[in-house]
Copies of this chain bind each other. A is one copy, B any other.
C-alpha cells in the first residue's frame, strides 16, 4: 500500500484543503505516490492536541512491535503545525486557548517524542505559527475586543515561533520558521493572511513550497518515491497491457 504523510495541526491545517490550500497542493504533488492525510483540529492548542494524539493516529502495528509490518505502516512524515492558538494573549477573549510558552515547548517535545516512539523512522517537521496582522485581527474578532487590543499579537506569535525553532533544534528535527519567512516579503499582512491569522492562497502557496523543500532535504522527493502502478508515460501504445504484467 501507498505510504502516508500526516498533517497535524490547528485550523491552519484543518482548512488546508479549502480553495488553494497547502494540504490539497501537497496531495496533488504526491498523487500516485503518497496519501496525504488531514489531522487538523480547528482552535486547538498543543495542550488539547496532546489529549487526542494517541487516538488520532493509528497504532504502530496491528501485528505487534518492531516487525516489518510496523515498518510498512509507519508514515513517511508528519507535519506538526501548532502555536497560533497557544499564543493567544492570556488576558483577552482567546485566553482559554492560551498556553504559556514554556508549556508550549514542553508540549511540542512531547508531540515529537510521541511520533518518534511510535514510528522511529518517520520525519517530523515542526512549523511555527505565522505572523499576526493585528489590525486585521481587530476587524475580524471571534469575541469581545477589550481595551482596543487584539486577542493575538505579532510579538507573542514571534516568541512561540522562536520557541518552536528552538525545540526543533534541540530534537534535531527540521523546522519551518513561517513567522520569519513571511515577514521578509513587504505587504505580508494582506499578501499571506486573509484575516490577520489564516492564510490567503499566496500564504498557502508559501507553506506548500516550504514543506516540499523541507521534505526534499529529508530525501522525500518525487524522483525517489515509487509510483504505485504504471504511469501513463510508462505504457507502450503498441502493447499497453505489457506494463501491467508482474
Check B96 against A56 for contact (C-beta < 8 Å): no
**Chain A residues proximal to chain B, CB less than 8 Å:** 1, 14-15, 17-21, 23-25, 27-28, 31-32, 35, 37-38, 40-44, 47-48, 51-52, 55-56, 58, 62-63, 96-97, 228-229, 231-232, 235, 237-238, 240-241, 244
Given contacts A52-B229, A96-B237, is CB(A15)–CB(B28) below 8 Å?
yes
Taken together, the copies of this chain in the complex come to 2
Most chain B CB inside 10 Å of its own CB: which residue of A17, A23, A238: A17
Q: Which residues of B contact A20 (CB under 8 A)?
A: 19
Check B28 against A27 for contact (C-beta < 8 Å): no
Check A232 against B43 for contact (C-beta < 8 Å): yes
Q: Which of B28, B43, B48 contacts A17 (CB 8 A)?
A: B28
Q: Which residues of B contact A1 (CB under 8 A)?
A: 58
Q: Which of B48, B238, B244 contacts A96 (CB 8 A)?
A: B238
* Cα distance A27–B19 in the bound complex, in angstroms: 11
Q: Which of B229, B231, B238 contacts A56 (CB 8 A)?
A: B229
Q: Which of B27, B63, B97, B229 contacts A24 (CB 8 A)?
A: B27
Check B14 against A32 for contact (C-beta < 8 Å): yes
The 6 closest A-B pairs by CB, nearest first: A43-B232, A24-B24, A51-B244, A17-B28, A17-B27, A96-B237
* Cα distance A28–B7 in the bound complex, in angstroms: 13
Given contacts A27-B24, A232-B43, is CB(A240)–CB(B17) below 8 Å?
no
| Closest Cβ neighbor of A201 among chain B residues | B19
Check A38 against B27 for contact (C-beta < 8 Å): yes
Q: How far is the CB of A245 from chain B (nearest CB, A)?
A: 9
Q: How far is the CB of A106 from chain B (nearest CB, A)?
A: 16
* Cα distance A11–B38 in the bound complex, in angstroms: 22
Q: What are some 13 contacts across the A-B interface (CB < 8 A)?
A: A14-B32, A17-B17, A17-B27, A17-B28, A21-B24, A24-B28, A42-B231, A43-B235, A48-B244, A51-B244, A52-B244, A96-B237, A96-B240
* Cα distance A229–B1 in the bound complex, in angstroms: 27
Given contacts A228-B56, A229-B52, is CB(A38)–CB(B35) below 8 Å?
yes
Check A18 against B28 for contact (C-beta < 8 Å): yes
Check A42 against B232 for contact (C-beta < 8 Å): yes
| Closest Cβ neighbor of A29 among chain B residues | B17
* Cα distance A19–B188 in the bound complex, in angstroms: 22
